[in-house]
Structure formats: structure tokens, C-alpha cells
């Protein structure tokens, strides 16, 4: 009898340990990929079988928000804060002297503090002028990638600062062979995943593509009906496939949370400086049914694809229009890892009850759209108000064609008050 009780207790302990087992985390972050660029998000000619399969094995979100540009998007993702709360004391691109303050706690630092191994591949864009700003001094054990966007070099940007590829704190390649960036990042990712790991890991793969100038390896050129841009998207899809195959091969797939998303919408209005050296207007993606593009607070500038897969925890084959944001990934991942959130204010929510099917509703009830210092639009439920007073019902009108402010003055007034309050909170005025 006692032996049976001991056996039952041991089983319960084992089940409890399994239930709280911390996941490995693989975060895949595209650059300038539009909401409509993937097959599973409706593109008619670009083939993305690996990402489509990933969506079928997990959850596909259709109201997921990032930010309208490279730097604010990375602030939201890696710090869990609206960009207006984060001050870098200068530009973080070419010739920029700015970087993250010591008071910020990056996602990598929080996960490392929870006992995770961390690695980064790809684009950083949060400071490079001093070594302390680089990823390996911001919580990542290793980094191989570019310090900022791949266009920040002649002829697209007037600068005498060369664009270098970095390994840790060392500059290792100039000029950078951008044709092979995605394939090299992928090879490094596969090697990292194949290694023996004695603790859970966080791999952050931040693709430089499909940001202009779009580039891909010879073996991927001409394979898409959507031209060079389609070739680049299909290269990223190949990369995702290699990552997933490696997780399967190493037996880690069931223990790994995989997330794929993008930093902002497509660059449909590039400045004249970009349209040289082979860059063409159609070397940009699709906002799908949304209006707007990168740099705007219209849905096409900030609403991006997001797919999450964690076998046994996130039910397969789901699609949800519930609202969530890159801000929420920070809180969700740190909490899932058993880590500690920073003492200062963050703007994200722990999505796990929603992701795990404990509730049908996302904890994100309101979202503020922000380029920099303060928000310029707000969404609550289906209603979105721009700072200029335009009001849209995004459930009915995701393309933001029909201004409903005159028809719904009470909703416009309520949202305006919330927008002004958040502006005041962030600016301190």
C-alpha cells in the first residue's frame, strides 16, 4: 500500500516537472516583410510551404502588431516597451552614437538571468558605436550579423563608414556578401541547434531580408513567380524549413517554442536614393488587404504575420484575430522561462493563457501605435482612432477606408482621451 502511494506521488511529481518544463525558444524575425507576403496569409504566387506548415502546426495570428520602422520594432520586441519609453541618446544606425542604456533589460539578458544559453544571428540596429552596445554585451553569448540595416552604405546612403559583418565584437567581412547572408545565418542556426545543450536556449535569428536591397543566393534566384522579391521570401521560407528539420532531427521540436514574425510592413514608398543599383519599386512586399506601408501607422505599416508553434502546448491548426503585439512576446517568453521581469514599467502581457487555450481572449485589450516619442493612434477592440480624429472599425474595414468618427462620436471621444493620456504618460508632460 505504502509502495503504491509512493509510486503515485512520484508520478505526480514527474508530471508536475513536465508541466512546468521551460521551453527552448527560437525567435525568427524578418525585416520589412508585409502582412500579405506568405502563402498562409494569402499571397497568390509566393510559395512558402514551410511557413504554411508551421502555421498548420500552431497558431496563426491575424491582428498582431509590431512598429512602423526598424528601430522602434526592435525596442518593442527586445525590451517589451513602447519605443517612446526607451531613449538611446542618439541614432543607432550608420554614424550613430546611440545605444541601449544600462537600465534596460533586454530579452536576452532576462533569459540569460533565468539560466538560458543565448545566441543571435542577423540584424541588431540598437547601437554599435561602443562595444557595450553590441549584442554580446546585451545578453547574447554570441552574435554573427550586421549592426544595422543592409542599405546603410553607398550608393543608397551617403556615408564613408563601411558596412561590416560582425562576429561578436570583431569586424570580419567588408564588403559584405549580401547574396549569402540568409544562407549563412541559416547554416549558423543549424549548427547552434545541433550542439549539445545542457540548459534551455534562446536563438534569435533576425533576417536582414527582405529589406532593400533584396538579395539571395544563386540557387534561389528565378524560382518564384513573384520575381526577385518572391525569391527572397522563398529563401526565408527555406531557412525556416532548415530550422524546423534540425529541431526534429535533434529531438527538440516538442520542447521548443518557435515564433516567426516581422518588424514592420513593406517598404512601398522608398526614397529616390534607394532606386538605384538594381533596386526597383516592386522589390517590396504586400500589405495584403491592409492599407499603408512601412513608416505609417496605417495597418499595413504595423500589422505583421505572426506564427507560434509549441507542440503539446499550443493547439495546432488555429487562426485567431485576437489582438497581440511584439510587446507581449517579451513578457510571455521571460515568464515562460521562469525569469524575472524588470522593475521598470513594461507594456506587454503574458499571452500564455491565451496561447495554451485556457481562454479564447487575448489579454491585450488596447494597443498604442507609436513611431517614436509618443503614440499616434490607438486601437481598442475593433475600433482604431488616429491622432487626427479618423475612426475605423478594423473588423469590418481593415483597409481603413471608411471614417466612422461622425457616426460614433462617443467611441472617438473615449479613444482620444486614452491616446492623450498615454502621450502624457510617455512624454512626462
Neighbours of 424 (CB within 10 A): 11
Q: Furthest-apart CA pair in the chain: how many Å?
A: 81
Integer Cα distance of 157 and 273 in angstroms: 7
Please state whether the predicted TM-score (pTM) of the whole model is above 0.85. Answer: yes
Q: What is the mean pLDDT of residues 112-126?
A: 98
Q: What is the mean pLDDT of residues 221-236?
A: 98
Say what the alpha-carbon torsion angle 90, 96, 100, 102 is, to the nearest 10 degrees: -80
From first CA to last CA, the distance across the chain in angstroms is 69
Catalytic residue annotation: 70, 125
Q: Please, which pLDDT band fits residue 20 given cuts at 50, 70 and 90? A: low
pLDDT tens per residue, range 75-92: 999 999 999 999 999 999
Q: Please, which pLDDT band fits residue 371 given cuts at 50, 70 and 90? A: confident
SS3 call for 308: strand
Place of cell 522593475: 343
Ordered by where they begin, the domains of the chain are 20-362 (3.40.720.10), 375-427 (3.30.1120.10)
Residue partners of 272: CB distance under 8 A and separation at least 6: none
Residue partners of 82: CB distance under 8 A and separation at least 6: 76, 327, 347, 368, 370, 375, 426
Integer Cα distance of 57 and 315 in angstroms: 8
Residue 19, pLDDT > 70, answer no
Secondary structure E strands in 17-116: 24-30, 59-65
pLDDT at site 359:
97
Residue 6, pLDDT > 50, answer no
Say if residues 391 and 415 touch (Cβ distance below 8 Å).
yes
pLDDT tens per residue, range 374-414: 899 999 999 999 999 999 999 999 999 999 999 999 999 99
Amino acid at each position: 500500500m505504502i509502495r503504491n502511494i509512493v509510486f503515485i506521488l512520484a508520478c505526480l511529481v514527474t508530471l508536475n516537472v513536465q508541466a512546468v518544463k521551460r521551453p527552448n525558444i527560437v525567435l525568427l524575425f524578418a525585416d520589412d516583410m508585409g502582412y500579405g507576403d506568405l502563402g498562409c496569409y494569402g499571397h497568390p504566387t509566393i510559395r512558402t510551404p514551410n511557413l504554411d506548415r508551421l502555421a498548420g502546426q500552431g497558431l496563426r495570428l491575424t491582428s498582431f502588431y509590431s512598429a512602423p520602422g526598424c528601430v522602434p520594432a526592435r525596442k518593442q520586441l527586445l525590451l517589451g516597451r513602447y519605443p517612446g519609453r526607451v531613449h538611446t541618446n542618439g541614432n543607432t544606425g550608420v554614424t550613430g552614437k546611440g545605444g541601449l542604456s544600462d537600465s534596460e533589460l533586454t530579452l536576452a539578458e532576462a533569459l540569460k538571468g533565468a539560466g538560458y544559453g543565448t545566441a543571435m544571428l542577423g540584424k541588431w540596429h540598437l547601437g554599435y558605436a561602443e562595444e557595450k552596445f553590441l549584442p554580446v554585451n546585451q545578453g547574447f553569448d554570441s552574435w554573427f550579423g550586421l549592426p544595422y540595416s543592409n542599405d546603410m552604405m553607398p550608393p543608397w546612403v551617403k556615408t564613408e563608414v563601411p558596412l561590416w559583418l560582425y562576429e561578436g565584437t570583431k569586424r570580419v567581412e567588408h564588403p559584405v556578401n549580401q547574396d549569402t547572408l540568409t544562407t549563412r545565418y541559416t547554416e549558423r542556426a543549424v549548427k547552434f541547434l545541433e550542439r549539445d545543450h545542457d540548459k534551455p536556449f534562446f536563438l534569435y535569428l533576425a533576417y536582414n531580408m527582405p529589406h532593400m536591397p533584396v538579395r539571395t543566393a544563386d540557387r534561389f534566384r528565378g524560382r518564384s513567380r513573384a520575381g526577385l522579391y518572391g525569391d527572397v521570401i522563398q529563401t526565408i521560407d527555406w531557412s525556416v524549413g532548415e530550422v524546423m528539420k534540425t529541431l526534429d532531427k535533434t529531438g527538440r521540436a516538442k520542447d521548443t517554442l518557435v515564433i516567426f514574425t516581422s518588424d514592420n510592413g513593406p517598404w512601398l514608398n522608398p526614397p529616390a536614393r534607394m532606386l538605384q543599383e538594381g533596386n526597383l519599386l516592386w522589390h517590396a512586399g504586400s500589405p495584403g488587404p491592409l492599407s499603408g506601408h512601412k513608416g505609417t501607422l496605417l495597418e499595413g505599416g504595423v500589422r505583421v504575420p505572426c506564427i507560434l508553434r509549441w507542440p503539446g502546448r499550443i493547439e495546432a491548426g488555429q487562426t485567431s484575430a485576437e489582438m497581440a503585439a511584439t510587446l507581449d512576446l517579451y513578457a510571455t517568453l521571460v515568464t515562460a522561462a521562469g525569469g524575472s521581469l524588470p522593475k521598470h514599467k513594461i507594456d506587454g502581457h503574458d499571452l500564455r493563457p491565451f496561447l495554451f487555450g485556457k481562454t479564447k481572449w487575448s489579454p491585450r485589450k488596447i494597443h498604442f501605435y507609436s513611431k517614436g516619442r509618443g503614440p499616434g493612434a490607438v486601437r481598442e477592440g475593433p475600433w482604431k482612432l488616429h491622432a487626427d480624429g479618423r475612426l475605423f472599425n478594423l473588423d469590418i474595414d481593415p483597409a481603413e477606408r471608411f471614417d466612422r468618427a461622425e457616426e460614433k462620436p462617443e467611441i472617438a471621444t473615449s479613444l482620444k482621451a486614452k491616446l492623450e493620456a498615454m502621450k502624457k504618460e510617455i512624454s512626462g508632460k
